[in-house]
């Protein structure tokens, strides 16, 4: 019985020291590197305003509009229930990304994104009008005192 335990212990220690299971880690890392290279290739073809479907590593699929692409992340707009959400997704969290045609997006997604853009334009215009009005109320030169 002691010999069996000794052999099992030596086998376990040898396996740990030699790292026999490291081969599976290496293949996983290669697969992840290949996957990220494919994602970066597709992102290189996309530009701001492009529509895409992103599949996350956990299997969720989301239709998005690209806002900004950086070296390690993507900022997107996506529809969440009845409003539009801006989200930054690390490239390492993306399993697949596929460019889609605007024609294939749902009407509610198009409507929500269009509404968000229109509201943004209106807010910027209102702020510009308020700033202009604030400067026009105060003359540049003071009136002489009598």
Over residues 92-101, the pLDDT tens digits come to: 889 899 888 6
CB atoms within 10 A of CB 145: 4
CA angle 110, 88, 90 (to 5 degrees): 125
pLDDT band per the 50, 70, 90 thresholds, residue 111: confident
Mean pLDDT score, 81-99: 88
Please give the Cα distance from 42 to 52 (Å, whole number): 10
Q: What is the mean pLDDT of the chain?
A: 80
Residue 35 confidence (pLDDT):
84
Q: By three-state DSSP, how is residue 140 classified?
A: coil
Tokens of 97: 């990304």
Is the predicted pLDDT of residue 10 greater than 70, yes or no? yes
Residue 89 confidence (pLDDT):
92
Domain over 29-135 is classified CATH 2.30.30.100: yes
6-25 burial by CB neighbour count: b if 16+ within 10 A, else e? eeeeeeeeeeeeeeeeeeee
pLDDT band per the 50, 70, 90 thresholds, residue 140: low
Q: What is the DSSP letter of 146?
A: -
pTM of the model: 0.51
Q: By three-state DSSP, how is residue 60 classified?
A: coil
Is the predicted pLDDT of residue 22 greater than 60, yes or no? no
CA angle 43, 48, 126 (to 5 degrees): 155
Please give the Cα distance from 99 to 9 (Å, whole number): 54
pLDDT band per the 50, 70, 90 thresholds, residue 133: confident
Bigger pLDDT: 145 or 82?
82
């Amino acid at each position: 019985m002691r010999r069996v335990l000794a052999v099992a212990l030596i086998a376990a220690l040898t396996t740990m020291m030699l790292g026999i299971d490291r081969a599976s880690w290496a293949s996983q890392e290669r697969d992840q590197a290949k996957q990220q290279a494919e994602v970066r290739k597709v992102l290189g073809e996309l530009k701001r305003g492009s529509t895409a479907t992103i599949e996350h590593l956990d299997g969720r699929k989301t239709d998005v509009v690209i806002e900004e692409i950086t070296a390690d992340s993507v900022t997107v707009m996506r529809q969440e229930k009845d409003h539009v959400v801006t989200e930054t997704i690390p490239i390492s969290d993306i399993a697949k990304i596929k460019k889609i045609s605007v024609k294939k997006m749902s009407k509610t997604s198009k409507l929500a994104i269009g509404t968000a853009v229109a509201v943004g334009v209106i807010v910027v215009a209102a702020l510009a009008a308020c700033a202009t009005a604030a400067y026009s109320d105060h003359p540049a030169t003071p009136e002489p005192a009598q």
